Amino acid sequence: MTLETISEAKAFDGIQGVYAHNAISTNCKMNFAVFLPRQAKIQKCPTLFYLSGLTCTHQNVMDKGEYRRMAAELGLIIVCPDTSPRGEEVADDPDDWQLGKGAGFYLDATQTPWADHYQMETYVRDELYDLVLANFPVDPARVGILGHSMGGHGALTLALKNPEKYKSCSAFAPIVNPSSCDWSIKGLSAYLGDDKDSWRAYDAVHLIEDGARYDALLVDQGSADGFLENGLKPWLLQDACEKAGIGLTLNMREGYDHSYYFISSFMDDHLRWHAARLGN
């Protein structure tokens, strides 16, 4: 598969790159970012996929996530996919930030017109994963995943369904139960149809209730997050993990909101947590 280099820049003795390729799963051109630490020049490295939230692209965490210094210190490769398909031919709802471009929810849509392009679970889990392993010095035995908000939802669901692929998982302010979240009900209905049983495969709380298991999860949540009560509901994940015997570390961060000020404040903690579990 042909990989196009959009840009590369030196950062912390490593390389921050942005790349593009014509994706089969989403049937469009997709951009993504990769940070390679200096250690990647001589050896395969542990790797983290970072999934962004609603309205974002790969660029947001590059500009505001402040991950490169610690990733360079720990020798972590960081991969940042886009949040949805892009292009003039891709279905969209420009009047609704919770649906369409920027709001792929990391699922595989089954409904018209979304199914033609919105295959984000397959894209992240299979196509981009294989592309990154083929083109960058990734140790496939040491791959983890993390994300924010909608991306936290994606990280949790992908890890719960693919623990053999993602050996560590964490999230910032994730949507843990999108079946009951004001942000996501419209999207799940549009992408998957009105049969709510089909939504359970993309809902971390329901996946755990239905038998999915994972060794340990890390979640950070700001107490001043305006979406906490009606959208994020971390206590539902905590309850599900307790009943299932899943080790969840839930940090309620006093006074922090939903923004990248919050994410960047605790990014180092998450990268260290992943590095410890990936055997770095």
Catalytic pick among 149, 168, 170, 184: 149
Respond yes or no: is residue 206 known to be catalytic: no
Q: What token pair was written down for 264? A: 């960047």
Question: How far separated are the first and last CA of the chain, in Å rounded?
Answer: 30
- CA 173/CA 219 separation, integer angstroms: 7
Under 8 Å between Cβ of 143 and 155: no
Respond yes or no: is residue 225 known to be catalytic: yes
Respond yes or no: is residue 130 known to be catalytic: no
Under 8 Å between Cβ of 52 and 80: yes
Catalytic pick among 52, 170, 225, 274: 225
- CA 247/CA 68 separation, integer angstroms: 28
Catalytic pick among 58, 153, 206, 258: 258
Other C-beta atoms lying within 10 Å of the C-beta of residue 193: 13
- CA 191/CA 203 separation, integer angstroms: 14
Alpha helix segments (H runs only) across 100-257: 120-122, 129-135, 150-161, 185-192, 204-209, 234-244
Q: What angle do CA 64, 179, 261 make, to 5 degrees?
A: 15
List the catalytic residues: 149, 225, 258
